[in-house]
Structure 1
Amino acid sequence: MNEEVQPSYRRRHVKTERRDEHTSAAPLTLVEEGQAGSFRRVLRNRSFLLLWLAQLLSQIVFNAANYGVIAIVTAVTHSTVMVGFAIVSFTLPAVPFSLLAGVYVDHLDKRFVLWVSNALRAVATGLIVLALLWNPHTVLPIYFLTFFISLVTQFFTPAEASAIPLLVSKKDLAPALSLFNITLTIAQALGFLVLGGLITALFPPFSLSLGFIQLQVLSFDMLFVIVTFFYVICTLLILAIPKRALDQKQSDEPDLFKSLGKQTWEIIRHEVREAWSYVRSNRQLLLALLRVSFVSILLLVIGELAGPFVVNVLHLPFQDMPFIFAPAGIGLVLGGVIMPLLMQKLGKNRTIALGSLGTAAGLVLIPLGRFLWSYLALPALGILLFIAGITFFLGIALEMVNIPAQTVMQEQAPEEERGRVFSFQSMLYNAGSIPVLLFLGVIADTLGIETVMFLLAAAILGFSWWAARYSHRSILS
């Protein structure tokens, strides 16, 4: 979920010099006119292959662990607001530390940052296992350790992005970046929607005797054990990359990091102020940025509500959560595939309008369908399948808003400003999600989850009405 910041890093932290075995440093651009490289050729580059595998595995288990955290908090607390705190624990570090980490990583050895990040995440995940074995009914240690893991990931992300041009040639940079971005999307879906639920289903609880100590090992304990194991594998993959492959000129200034520490908040304030000034001057860009942020926050809210809805409203075990998450993920992927054709036929504004209406309708249909199913005393499996179908179409509808809005952002932001604009959008989304998640969590626990769904539908319609008027005024002006 906090991984939304990665595309901006790909723009901001890619170096302007490369190094390979045959060629000296040469200038390059992020998007090449002729993409002579290919996925097959970049994967034959052993150092790049090791980095790519480390990214693939670490992203999958990172998202599987996030699923595990949400599921555990749901099972232990049955509280929507506590699930909101869980999501905040892995989104909060991206607000101040994403820019800070990028500043420091530019002056550190990339290989060192990458393997240490994975090692620290392995240790922290192992501590989650110990905390669950010690007391499976407490969530406070999980919050702190999840926050720490997400914080470490803020350093891993820019180090990984800036390592790519050090490992591949100029003509292979575009396919290498494309492969990493495709892998990111697939890893998020596999980890959060598939692997987490699959592991908890495959490993039933069992007892473990250690001398005088008798431990009850639960399914989620095994999930975090497997996550720990794969973080160790990722550490070894990074260490297998030759040190010379990621050699980079390091600053010899002894007071560099002291100076960076003093300047960090000035840098962040300057970046935010400059980005806001630029975005505010372009009304279409501002509207697109708000739409993308709105959809991103809405996805987090749906993730916050899904577990408590299954447990508290449908009265089903939390193991059935993937039946809601997975169709939504499939809808998001399918929506991304069909959206270029749909935008070509309908235009961006009509696509966004239809997507907004579809999202609002889906959020209303879920509680109405649940009420009718309960009133008619139909089998529980039927309502689960009905909701799965609705969440599938919700995934498509959300992409009908998200992708056209992101397209407008790309079109309206000049190439030299895109990194700043996307970084600002990521910070806005992560910062804005925190009060929304906590506020709606309180409303869900006091007035009911289905009440929140009706409020969300009303908010979507209200925002769409305002956006249409704002867009019309922008065109007239």
Structure 2
Amino acid sequence: MWKNRNIWILMLGEGIAGLGMWVGIIGNLEFLQQHVPSDFMKSLILLSGLFVGVLFGPMAGKVIDKYSKKTVMIYAGILRALAVFFMFAAIQQQSIAWMIVYMLGIGVSAAFYFPALQSSLPLIAKDNELLALNGLHMNVGTIARIAGTAVGGMMLVSFSLFSVYMWTFVSYVLILGCTFLLRIDESKDTSNVKPFKKGGSFTEVWPIIRHTPAVLLGLVLMLVPIGFLGSFNLMVLKISELQHNVAIKGWLYTAEGVAFMCGAFMIKKISGKTNIGLSLLISAFGISLSHLSLFFADHPVPSIISFAIFGFAAGTFFPLMATLFQRQVPKEYHGRFFSFRNMMDRLLFQAVLVSTGFFLDTIGFHYMVLVFGSFSLLLTLLMSIHQIRRPTSFEQKKAVG
């Protein structure tokens, strides 16, 4: 795997882009804190990009399966870089409206880029390398997140918001250059693609999901980490306010990121020695407990421990889940399936984000984490009981389309 130039190019590009993206996210939060007092309104603004991504999801799935995945990533990368200019306009005019336009552009780009990327991974690596590659890809993203949030925080102290987003723009241009260097042989994939039926191709993923119990169970379990991730940034902001400590934001991001890498490293080492279904349920249980433990987030140490527990559990959960989907779903459906999953994630993120803003303005932080954590724990227990009564096979095999 380490001799594969595509992997080196992809990881380098993802590291650079992730760094710039998280610097931009820190900039987004700072801009919102300056101009939007209500947590609920912040959540509505943050979900604008997620919402438009859902609208473009079906189109993205069909395009990714029909055309070159590299070409799709290039066009999505161009749009992502151009979208930053709308944020420059927002800063110049102190306008929330321009920020929303910026987030819409990023949302459309993500709707095409990330499913295309997930569909490309099985084409640049051998089947037995997928778990290691997924773990590596997520660790690169995590390192970029840790570095990006740290750099973004330091830049906000010393530089203007315009400089923060200029860094983001440069990183997006660099990953676009890396994408041009990729060499992906898609002949083995596209030769098996069925002819597209006008207006109906996206729905072909439903039989795959319905007749592959492991995939269906995996999609249900995705609700657990999304419940935490959807409220992640708003929780970080609120914990910072509760503790009257600006620096805690960096500590929370760092603790979660380092623990995530440890989890991804551990699951790679024990892969093949443990039951994937059991591992996913244990990880989901850990995520649920971390959410509940945020009830004690008034103090620095408990809040950092909670985020570290989440990071470790998520670090084991996501590489396993990504590998499961890549292996169980036939390659010719990857574009449409990962677009569907992207749509599902975005819809759930929207629900969690709006609920988080609403709960923070009404019942407060402490009761909110109890509500979300209890729901995640109940869902995990129900899935565990289902697995005991009607065991689902998680053997690494391809589903029949």
TM-score after normalising by structure 1: 0.65
Tell me the distance in 2 between the aligned counterparts of 1:72 and 1:286. 39
Alignment correspondent of 2:89: 130
Residue 336 (structure 1) aligns with: 264
Name which of 183, 186, 190 aligns with 2:143: 190
Question: CA contact under 8 A between 2:70 and 2:184: conserved in structure 1?
Answer: yes
Question: Given the superposition, is the C-alpha separation of residues 188 and 457 from structure 1 closer, same or farther in structure 2, using an over 3 Å criterion?
Answer: same
Q: In the aligned structure 2, how far is the partner of 1:130 from the partner of 1:450?
A: 37
Distance change >3 Å, CA 173–CA 329, structure 1 → 2: closer
Partner deviation per Cα, 1:237-266 (whole Å, 9 max, x = no partner): 667x59xx89999xxxxxxxxxx9x94xx2
Which entry has the higher C-alpha Rg, 1 or 2?
1
Change (3 A) 1:117 1:236: same
5+ residue gaps, structure 1, are 1-37, 206-216, 250-259, 371-382
**Residue identity matched to 2:5:** V
Q: Confirm whether residue 316 of structure 1 aligns to residue 232 of structure 2.
A: no
Task: Give the distance between the partners of 1:173 and 1:340, measured in 2 at CA.
Answer: 16
Partner deviation per Cα, 1:371-424 (whole Å, 9 max, x = no partner): xxxxxxxxxxxx324321221112223445555556665676567766655543
- Please give the alpha-carbon distance, in whole angstroms, between the structure 1 residues aligned to 2:179 and 2:287: 42
The amino acid that maps onto 2:60 is: A
Secondary structure at the aligned position of 1:321 is classed as helix
Equivalence for 1:307: 237
- Please list, as runs of the form range in 1=range in 2, the aligned pairs for 1:154-169 lying within 5 A after superposition: 154-157=111-114
Listed as ranges, the matches of 1:206-355 within 5 Å are 218=160, 220-235=161-176, 263=198, 266-267=199-200, 270-272=201-203, 274-311=204-241, 313-317=242-246, 320-339=248-267, 347-348=275-276, 350-355=278-283
**Partner secondary structure for residue 39 of structure 1:** coil
Q: How does 1:447-462 map to 2 (within 5 A)?
A: 447-462=363-378
8 Å CA contact 1:59, 1:188 repeated in 2: yes
Contact 1:359 1:397 in 2 (8 A): yes
* Structure 1 pair 112–307 and aligned structure 2 pair: CA distance change class (3 A): same
Structure 2, unaligned runs of 5 or more: 188-195, 393-401
Q: Greater RCO between the two (CA within 8 Å, min separation 6)?
A: 2
**Normalised TM-score (structure 2):** 0.76
Partner of 2:396: none
Task: Quote the residue 2:154 is aligned against.
Answer: 201
Q: Secondary structure at the match of 2:231?
A: helix
Change (3 A) 1:339 1:158: closer
**CA displacement at 1:128 relative to structure 2:** 0.9
1:68-107 to structure 2, matched below 5 A, reads 68-104=27-63
Q: Deviations along 1:34-76, whole A, 9 cap, x unmatched?
A: xxxx534527xxxx97676545433432343234323432454
Contact 1:352 1:404 in 2 (8 A): yes
The Cα shift of 1:455 comes to 0.7
CA contact (8 A) 1:65 1:224 kept: yes
Aligned-pair Cα RMSD in Å? 4.1
Query: Is the 2:356–2:368 Cα contact (8 Å) retained in structure 1?
Result: yes
1:391 pairs with 2:391: no
Rate the CA distance shift 1:452–1:113 in 2: closer, same or farther, 3 A: same
Q: Distance between the aligned counterparts of 1:112 and 1:349, measured in 2? A: 35
Q: Which moved more, 1:403-412 or 1:463-472?
A: 403-412
CA 129–186 in structure 1, closer or farther in 2 if over 3 Å, else same: farther
Range 98-107 or range 186-195, more displaced: 98-107
- Could you tell me how far apart the structure 1 residues matched to 2:330 and 2:248 are? 45
Q: Which one of 353, 364, 373 corresponds to residue 292 of structure 2? A: 364
Q: 1:148 corresponds to which residue?
A: 105
CA distance in 1, matches of 2:216, 2:179: 39
Q: Per-residue deviation at 1:163?
A: 8.3
Distance 1:50 1:284 in 2: 32
Describe the SS at the equivalent of 1:326. helix
1:432 to 322, 335, 348: 348
Give the % identical residues: 16
**Is the partner of 1:92 in helix, strand or coil?**
helix
d(CA) in 2 for partners of 1:285 and 1:148? 30
